[in-house]
Structure 1
Amino acid sequence: MTDALIKRPQIDGLRALAMIGVLYVHYWNKAPVTEYVRVTLFFVISGFLITHILMNAKARGGHILVRNFYIRRALRLFPALIVCFAAAWALNADGFRDSAAWHFMPTSNIYFALSQEWHPWVVSHLWSLNVLEQFYLGWPLIILFLSEKTLHVVVVAGLAVLVFVHANDTHLAIDRWWLVLVFAFDPILTGALAYLLQRHPPPVRQVMTSHFAVALAVAMLALPLVLWDGFGHSDSYRFFAQPAVAVLVVGAFQGYRGPIGWLLQSPPAQFLAMISFGVYVYHMMVWYVMAEAFPVLYTPGPLTFAVLGTTTIVVATVSWYAMEEPIGRLKHAFPVRRTGPKAIPVSAAEPVTAATEPK
């Protein structure tokens, strides 16, 4: 079995962790000291896997159908989003109708950057999905037309520019809202770079997945727990977290052994990963509907986390089996790669994962 054909369940396990992080931050603790890790994990996994899918399709030859890539993304993302938007429109949740066009496009991140407020808050979490969707617009074309060696240069150059922008936003007169919500591609590029690096000969992968590298990555992510208050929300931690998370993603891609591997591959983790995109999309609307009926749930804490977390998982499960999974089967009609007169489904090159896109 080739590398392209192997399922990566431990990556799905990381998706489940990211999803739990979303619910914890929104329903329980709005400002944990390691808050940035969940956003970084989402972006790094996404950049890593999208690059993996496209690079494998390209490496196996044939004609790359970029249009079908976009269709497949739409089939995965739009069903749950349409249901969420329909509910928000019907209830006019937090004045959703006034800015609905921005969220339909989707450019919620730009709208929030322009307005400089999280209103309507029921779709405020979609900024991260929008950043990823905007990345999707150009990245497939870049992979299609550039060599792998040139891709390394493009990714490193992109990271250098974004690090410079984030480190010098004051001198560049870039508003913080724009910096965080629009100039946010660096962890996605970090994920892409991590995938490109692990494609190198075995010694490179061995270094990236060594016990020392994993221990150092965990230590870097834990720094806010031992350093001063506020470090976890600083740009310094932002830059530390990205390579640390990338090391953990590469390790999961190659496969951890022992308790960590078992936990990431466990049935509960795989189930949560499967429904994770629905959890991400619906959880703020679930909060709005439930809290309007029971105002005590507007207060984050253990009770809110338990009640709303359970409700959101139930809603996402119904959505998956009743709508998302059946519609997702249509992706087989839109292969990303075509050889000769007959199209070959991309499922042979695509890990069987559920796209989760947490804030």
Structure 2
Amino acid sequence: MANARDIQLDTLRAVAVTLVLYAHFLAPGGSSFLGHLGVRLFFVLSGFLITRLLLEARDTAEFEAGPALRSFYARRMIRIFPPYFAVLALVWLTDLEQSRSSLAWHALYLSNFWYAQRNEWTPWLLCHFWSLSIEEQFYLAWPLIVLLAPRRRIEAITIGVIAFSLAYRFYWPIAADPALARDLLPPASMDALACGALLAVRRARGADIPRWMRLAAPVFAAVFLLVVWSDPGPASSAWEWPRWLLVQVLPPVPLVTVVAACSNGLGGALGRLAELPPLLFLGRISYGVYLYHPILLAYAVKAQPWLPLNVSQQGPGRFLVAGAATLIAASLSWVFFEKPLNSLKRYFPYVARPRSRAPGEARLFGAAPALDLQRTEARR
């Protein structure tokens, strides 16, 4: 069952969303690699947590695939849809950046396909929705595999998804096409999501990340940093495609290693740091932070004539003003909007609770793990 130290995963969410904010508000020249890393960390976390929850539901004595699937989709809708569609409604009302023409794509969680087929980031204020669309597409398909596929085949399927994603990446240098589709279509992100899922599958059978991965993670991380800090050279240089490939394929190994360590519970000074209340709270509201930050930046830029700091360009002024507005909005959204709605999840348990057993007998027959599962998932 879930480790009580899982609260440290909230800190990883805080780290991920901070990397995104840095890339969009502060990074010189709009450098995006830290934002890319933050999104990949979100993907690994999602793959791990969703797969673990589904496998735990499948292992309970009262498990039935149909009710579990219905509950999964209902709980995801309760958690994700209300703030998401509230943002779309706001964008529709104000028509920021003339975004109305694309709202149908975003409402259907096809943002990644919208930007891929246009091959440009227009409208910019909704460009971060591509990753939310990827996650929703993952949520649509992956539970069917985890809950319905033969249990002994799930690990092989997960490895196959990772291999397919890597093969997809290697296609693009052969095609020599730098279109946005190479980064935005679902296969481009399935390696990170499936790496997180693979960690959950291995944990479910009593294993952990392989020893080679623990040893290789620091090397992969070091090479990644060297690559992103290297001079990319001209757009048509021989280094362009190898550099892009390395930036894409290196992060999942160190990210999975970090997620594995935090899900087990870091000790000592690192553990205390990972459980600081401000970091845990930032992780808890990270969905709102990620969802709202470009919208609030767009409003801040419109308000530039009345602001004493420069928010029209990357820099400290933008980071302070737009960052503070984002944190305030996300905090209020969590306290008064998202958290109350999350309480509705209790009406959609993954497994049915036994109705006629005494407390001691219920634990004997496996009801207690089912109840623990609901409490664990309620934190997400």
Establish whether TM, by shorter chain, passes 0.5. yes
Q: Distance in 2 between matches of 1:175 and 1:52?
A: 35
Q: With CA pairs under 8 Å and 6+ residues apart, which has the higher RCO, 1 or 2? A: 1
Q: Distance in 2 between matches of 1:351 and 1:209?
A: 28
8 Å contact from structure 2 (residues 54, 143) kept in 1: yes
User: In structure 1, what is the equivalent of residue 333 of structure 2?
Assistant: 319
Structure 2 residue 315 is the aligned partner of structure 1 residue 301: yes
Q: Distance in 2 between matches of 1:297 and 1:200?
A: 50
Q: Distance in 2 between matches of 1:134 and 1:341?
A: 35
How far off its partner does 1:173 sit? Answer: 7.8
8 Å contact from structure 1 (residues 12, 353) kept in 2: no
User: In structure 2, what is the equivalent of residue 59 of structure 1?
Assistant: 59
How far off its partner does 1:297 sit? Answer: 1.2
Unmatched tracts of structure 1, length 5 or more: 355-359
Q: Deviations over 1:8-38 (max 9, x none)?
A: 1111110000111111111111215544321
Q: Distance in 2 between matches of 1:264 and 1:352?
A: 20
Structure 2 residue 267 is the aligned partner of structure 1 residue 257: yes
Q: Distance in 2 between matches of 1:206 and 1:109?
A: 33
299-308 or 225-234: which moved more?
225-234
8 Å contact from structure 1 (residues 27, 308) kept in 2: yes
How far off its partner does 1:106 sit? Answer: 1.5
Structure 2 residue 333 is the aligned partner of structure 1 residue 328: no
Q: Deviations over 1:128-151 (max 9, x none)?
A: 010010011111111111233201
User: In structure 1, what is the equivalent of residue 192 of structure 2?
Assistant: 187
Counterpart residue type for residue 331 of structure 2? T
Distance 1:60 1:117, change over 3 A: same
Q: Distance in 2 between matches of 1:206 and 1:235?
A: 23
User: In structure 2, what is the equivalent of residue 239 of structure 1?
Assistant: 249
Structure 2 residue 374 is the aligned partner of structure 1 residue 348: yes
Q: Distance in 1 between matches of 2:206 and 2:123?
A: 49
Q: Distance in 2 between matches of 1:228 and 1:265?
A: 37
Q: Distance in 2 between matches of 1:22 and 1:191?
A: 20
8 Å contact from structure 1 (residues 275, 320) kept in 2: yes
Distance 1:228 1:196, change over 3 A: farther
How far off its partner does 1:353 sit? Answer: 3.8
Percent identity over the alignment?
Answer: 30
Counterpart residue type for residue 116 of structure 2? A
193-202 or 115-124: which moved more?
193-202
Within-5 A mapping of 1:140-219: 140-171=143-174, 176-182=179-185, 183=187, 184-201=189-206, 204=208, 207=211, 212=215, 215-216=218-219, 218-219=221-222
**SS state at 1:338 partner:** coil
171-180 or 50-59: which moved more?
171-180
User: In structure 2, what is the equivalent of residue 357 of structure 1?
Assistant: none
User: In structure 1, what is the equivalent of residue 46 of structure 2?
Assistant: 46
How far off its partner does 1:218 sit? Answer: 4.5
Structure 2 residue 315 is the aligned partner of structure 1 residue 279: no
Distance 1:181 1:193, change over 3 A: same
RMSD (Å) for aligned C-alpha atoms = 2.6
TM-score by length of 1: 0.89
Counterpart residue type for residue 85 of structure 1? L
TM-score by length of 2: 0.84
Q: Distance in 1 between matches of 2:47 and 2:180?
A: 22
Q: Distance in 2 between matches of 1:59 and 1:349?
A: 16
Unmatched tracts of structure 2, length 5 or more: 234-239, 357-366
Larger radius of gyration: 2
Q: Distance in 2 between matches of 1:227 and 1:175?
A: 19
**SS state at 1:4 partner:** coil
Q: Distance in 2 between matches of 1:303 and 1:59?
A: 51
How far off its partner does 1:241 sit? Answer: 0.8
Selected match of 1:10 from 8, 11, 14? 8
Distance 1:7 1:347, change over 3 A: farther
User: In structure 2, what is the equivalent of residue 268 of structure 1?
Assistant: 278
How far off its partner does 1:155 sit? Answer: 1.1
165-174 or 247-256: which moved more?
165-174
